Amino acid sequence: MPEDDLAEEAARLTINGDNSDRGDLGFVAKRLAQEARQTLSSSGGSRGIRDVTEEFTVAAKQLQPGQLVKDEYFTLFEAVGALEIMDPKMDSGYVPLGDTLEPDFDVCKGLPAEQVLWIMDELLRLTAVWHDGYPLSQTIFTSLHVDRLLSPDNRPPYQLSYGDMTLRIMTVEEQLVHIVLRAYCVALVKSCALVLHTIQSQNFYEEEDFVTHLFGRELLPSTGANDAIKLLDEAVKFLDGAEVRQVMRAALLERLHFAQTYISLLITNSADWNTLAAMGRLAETHKLAQPIPEAFSDKVQRQLATSTPPRPMIAISWDEALQRWTEFCADVVEADRLTCFDVCQSPHALHRAIWAFAYREPQPNTFARAYLQTILFASEQITEGMAFFDLMLTDMRDLALAGDVLADPQSFLIEMPSDSRHRCSRIIEMFMDKAFDEYMNLYRMVCQNRCRIRRTFTQSVAIFDSLETEAMKTDAELESITPGIVLPHEDGSGKVALNPLTSWVKYHRLQTMAWTTQLGFETDIYLPHELSMMYWYLMVFAQRRCKLVEHIERFLAARRKRFASSRDARPDDEAAASQEWLAVLHKQADFEASLSSALWQLTELLMTLGILQPPKRDYAQEQLLYDVRMKSYLGIAHDPIPTLEEYMSAAQSDQSVGETCNNVNSTIADAKGCLAFLKKTNPEQGKYVGTEEQWKREIKQLETTCVAVAVQTSQLRRVADKHGKLVSVARDASMKGMLEVSIPLPGSRYHGWWVVPQIRERKK
Amino acid sequence: MESVQDVQYLDDLLNKTLHLHITDGRMFVGQLKCTDNERNIILAMTHEYRQPSPADVKLAAERHEKGGLPGNVKVDMRKRFLGLVVVPGQYIEKMEVEGPRTPHLTLEADAFDVLTSR
C-alpha cells in the first residue's frame, strides 16, 4: 500500500534526521509532501509507459563528469543511505552467478524426529536473539518453514504446502513436519505478534532497544492466538499416538508444551513465568537433536521488503540462548513482585522498585521493561485502589504535607463550595494536572535504557523548573485561603512559609539534577579532567537538597507541636512517619554531598598536581566548554546553578597536599557516618519495602567506595611524602611524573555511579 | 547549447516514476531523484519487481483452476519495497517513464523558441 511505503520512508527519514537542526525537518516535510503527491497521483500500471532509454542515455552523456541533475530537495546527505543495486554488500536481492534465488530446500518433505527437534530448538534460540533486539530478518524469518507460512503467496489456513493436504496420506515423518512443526511455528509466530503488541503499546526506542520491523510480512492475521493453541493441542494428541521413539516423543512434547505455556502467558499477560523457566529440562534433551542447517537461510532476505543492506544470521550458542530465556523469565516474575500491592502504597518505595528493576544484571530486555510499564500504566491505576492521582497526592503528602489538611484525601471529597478545604483541593488538583505528565515520567522513564534515562531526565529538569513557577503561584493562592505556619527565616531575616508545592517540585528537580549527573558518570560521558567539576556540582546539588529537606523538617516539627493538643492520632502518626523518612532523605543527601566533596577534592588535587590533565586544545575556551557541558542546567530560573567563576574560586588550590589529603579523609569519615545511620533504618522508615536486598547491597558498595577513596588518598599521600611534597602547595604541577592515574570504566567500579581514580606510583 | 536542452530534458524527468530494467532481469520502479553523466540513477520509494518463477506460475494456475475462474491465468510479478536505491548506469538495459506528457514535444518546443527568438 502506498501509505505504508510512505510511513516506512517517513520513519526512516525521522531516524536519520534525529540529530539535525530544525531546518532539515522543514525540507524533509516538503519532500515528503511532494513524494506523496507523486505516488498518489501517478498513473501507474502499463498505460502511459514510454521507453526513454535512447533519449535518456544521449542526454546523460552530454553532462559533464561529476555534474548532477537532481531534485532541489534531495540532499546528498540522504544519498549516502541509498542501497546500491548489484553490489552484494548493499543489494539484498542480488543473486551471485551460479546461485539460485531461493534456497534449494523442500519445506514440505518429511523429516525424522531428531531433525524436527533441532529445528524447534533452533527457533527457540532465534526467538531469544530476537528478544535481544535483532530484527526478524536475521532471526525467526530465516527459518524456511516460517518463511513459507508467512509467504505472501500463502493463504489461510497457512499450510506449508499451498495445496490441500487433507487428501494425501502422510508418512510419520511428513506428519511430524506438517502437524507438529507447523503447529510450533504458528504458535511462535503468534507469540511474536503478542510480544510486539506489548512492546509497541509502551515506551521504547526503535533500533536502540528493539526492532519491530516486519519486512512487509504479516504475522498470520487470520489465525488467532487461541487457534494456535488448538493446533498445538492437536499436535500433542498426534504425538501421543504416533510411531515415534519414546525418548523423541518426550523431547518433542516438551517443546510443544513450552510453546503452549509461552503463548498462554502472553495472551493472559500473566506473570507466572516461573512455569516457563521450569522447562530448563530442554537443555538435557537438546543433545538428541540432529542438525539440519539447510532449513534456515539468510537468502530469505532477498524477498523481504527491506531498506537495509543484507545482514548475517546471528550466532549465539544454545546454552547462551537458554541462559537468556531463564533471565527473561526471572525478570518478568521480578517485575510482578516489585510492583505488588504493598510496594505501590508508597510512591517512594515504588520508585525505588523500578530503579531496582532497571539495575538488574543483565539489564532486562525490552519486553520485560514493556511488561513492567504495562503493569503500571496500562490500566487507570497503579494498583488496586491507588489511582495515579492518589499516588501523586501521597508523594506530596509524604514529602511535604504529612498530617496537613491540605493533602488529606478527605479534604478532596468535601463538596461544600464555601469550605476552604474544597477550594484548596480544587486549586491543588489544577496544579497536579499540570505536573501530572512529568511526575509520571519519573516512573516511566526509568523503564528505558540507561542512556535514555539520563537524556530524558535532563529534559525533565527544565520542565520541573517551569513547574516551580506554577507551584509558587499555587502556594500563594493556598496561603491566601488557608494561611499555613510561618517561621522565622533560617538566617534570621524576616519570615518564611513552607510553600509545600514549591518545595515538592524543587525536591524532584534537585533529585533529577543529581540523577542526570550520576547517570553521566555511569554512562561514562565525562572526560577524566571533568570529573572534578562534575563532582563539585553534584556536591552543590546534594547540599541544596539537604537545605530543602531541613526547611521541610522545620515545618513538620512545628506542625507536630500543634497535633500534641489534638485528639486525632492519625495526622500525628502520619507526620511521625514522614519525619523518620525525611531524616533518611537528609542523611542520603548528606552522604552524597560528603562523598562527592571527597572525590572533588581528590580529583582537584590530581589536576593541580598535573597528574590529571585536559588534552591540549589550542582553540578551546573554558567558558565555551563549560556552556556545552552544563547546557541543560543553564536555563534553570529558580536558584540557578553556580557559574564557572564560582566553581573555579571554590577550588582549593591554596592548600598543601597534606592538608587536602586530611580533608578528604575527614569528609570520607562523615560519609561513612551517614552510611552507618542508613544501615540501621528499617524498610518502613526508609520507604524501601520490596527492595530490601538492593538497599543492603548498595550500602555495601558505597562503603567499599568510601574505603577505596581513603586508600587512594593514602597512596597519594605516601608518594608525596616520599618526594617531600607533602607540605608544598600543589599549584606548580610538581608531581607530574611521579604518579599515574587510571579511571575505572563502567562495569569495573564498586558502585556504577562513583568513579574512584586509581593512583599508582610511576615506576622509573 | 545542446547541454542546456539535455539538462532540461533530464530535469523534466525528475520526480517522475521510472521503470528501470536491469541486466539480471529485475525491474525497479521509483521516483527519479538524481542522475549523472554515467546514467547512475537514484530512485526514491522504490519497489523491486521480479519475473514470476515456474513454481509461481504453477501455483497461480492451480488456484485459477480451483477457483473456476474464466479466461487466462494472471500471475503477478514478485514485488517488494526497498526505499531509496541507486542503480549504477552500467546495469540498466531499459528505461521507461510513466506519465502523459512526452519530453519530445518539450524539446521541439524549446527548439522552436530558440529559432524564433533569433
- Do A21 and A120 fall into the same domain? no
pLDDT, residue B114, reads: 36
Q: Are A12 and B83 inside 8 Å of each other by CB? A: yes
User: Which of the two residues, A40 and A95, has the higher pLDDT score?
Assistant: A95
pLDDT of the residue at A415: 92
Asked, for residue A354, whether it belongs to a domain, the answer is no
Overall pTM > 0.95: no
pLDDT digits (tens, 9 = 90+) for A417-453: 999 999 999 999 999 999 999 999 999 999 999 999 9
Q: Is the pLDDT at A738 greater than 50, yes or no?
A: yes
Radius of gyration of chain B from its Cα atoms, rounded to whole angstroms: 20
Local confidence band at A730 (pLDDT 50, 70, 90 cut-offs):
low
Structural domain contains residue A698: yes
pLDDT for position A642: 95
Q: What is the predicted pLDDT for the residue at A23?
A: 56
In degrees to the nearest 10, what's the CA dihedral of A591, A597, A600, A602? -100
Residues in chain A: 764
Domain of residue A26 covers 3-81
Residue A473 has pLDDT above 50, yes or no: yes
Picking from A150, A144, A143, A149, the residue whose alpha carbon sits closest to that of residue A124 is A143
- Whether residues A124 and A72 fall in one domain: no
* Same structural domain, A29 and A152: no
Same domain assignment for residues A147 and A199: yes
Question: Does position A20 have pLDDT exceeding 60, yes or no?
Answer: no
Residue B28: closest C-alpha in chain A: A85
Q: How many CB pairs under 8 A join A and B?
A: 181
* Residues on chain A touching B28 (C-beta within 8 angstroms): 85
For chain A, say whether B110 makes contact (Cβ under 8 Å). no
Higher-pLDDT residue of A185, B2: A185
Q: A179 and A48 in one domain?
A: no
- Cell numbers linked to A641: 546553578
> Which pLDDT belongs to residue A735?
76
> Could you tell me if A41 lies within 8 Å of chain B, comparing CB atoms?
no
Given an 8 Å threshold on Cβ–Cβ distance, is A67 in contact with B36?
Answer: yes
Residue A274: pLDDT band with limits 50, 70, 90: confident
| pLDDT (0 to 100) of residue A360 | 95
Number of domain units in chain A: 3
pLDDT band, residue A11 (cuts 50/70/90) = very low
Beta bridge partners of A497: A486
- Of A310, A383, A335, the C-alpha closest to A85 is A310
The chain-wide mean pLDDT, for chain A, equals: 90
With beta carbons under 8 A apart, name residues in chain A contacting B99: 42-43, 48, 50
Residue bearing the bigger pLDDT, B64 or B27: B27
Q: Are strands A68-70 and B78-87 parallel, antiparallel or unpaired?
A: unpaired
Residue type, A650: A
A707 and A559: one domain?
yes
Q: Would you list the domain boundaries of chain B?
A: 17-98
Tell me if chain A has a CB within 8 Å of the CB of B94: yes
A46 and A162 co-located in one domain: no
Chain A residue numbers touching B52 (CB-CB < 8 A): none
pLDDT, residue B112, reads 35
Residue of B18, B24, B91 to mutate for A, most A C-beta atoms under 10 A: B24
Q: Report whether pLDDT(A299) > 50.
A: yes
Asked if the C-beta of B26 comes within 8 angstroms of chain A's C-beta atoms, the answer is: yes
In this predicted structure, what is the pLDDT of residue A340? 93
Same domain, A135 and A261: yes
pLDDT level of residue B86 (50, 70, 90 thresholds): very high
pLDDT at A240 over 80: yes
pLDDT of residue B109: 37
Does the structure show a pLDDT above 60 at A2?
no
Contacts of A58 in chain B (CB under 8 A): 6
| Cα gap B99→A525, rounded to integer Å | 54
Same domain for A125 and A30? no
Asked if A149 and A192 count as a contact pair (C-beta separation under 8 A), the reply is no
Q: pLDDT over 70 for what percent of chain A? A: 92
Residues A65 and A126 in one domain: no
Residue A486 lies inside a defined structural domain of this protein: no
Q: Identify the weakest region by mean pLDDT among A185-194, A514-523, A561-570.
A: A561-570
Domain shared by A70 and A147, yes or no: no
Does residue A568 sit in the same domain as residue A713?
yes
Would you state the pLDDT for residue A653? Answer: 64
The reply to whether residue A65 touches residue B37, judged by beta carbons under 8 angstroms, is yes
User: In the prediction, which pLDDT does A352 show?
Assistant: 96
Contact status, residue A85 vs residue A108, Cβ threshold 8 Å: no
- Cell of residue A669, nine digits: 569519615
Query: Which of A284, A315, A346 marks a domain boundary?
Result: A315
Q: Of A19-33, A105-119, A236-250, B61-75, which gets the smallest average pLDDT?
A: A19-33
Determine whether domain B17-98 maps to CATH 2.30.30.100: yes
Minimum mean pLDDT among A47-51, A163-167, A283-287, B100-104: which range? B100-104
| Res. A6 pLDDT band, cuts 50 70 90 | low
Share of chain A above pLDDT 90, in %: 72
Contacts of B19 in chain A (CB under 8 A): 49
The DSSP line for A446-486 is: GGS-HHHHHHHHHHHHHHHHHHHHHHHHHHHHHHHHS---E
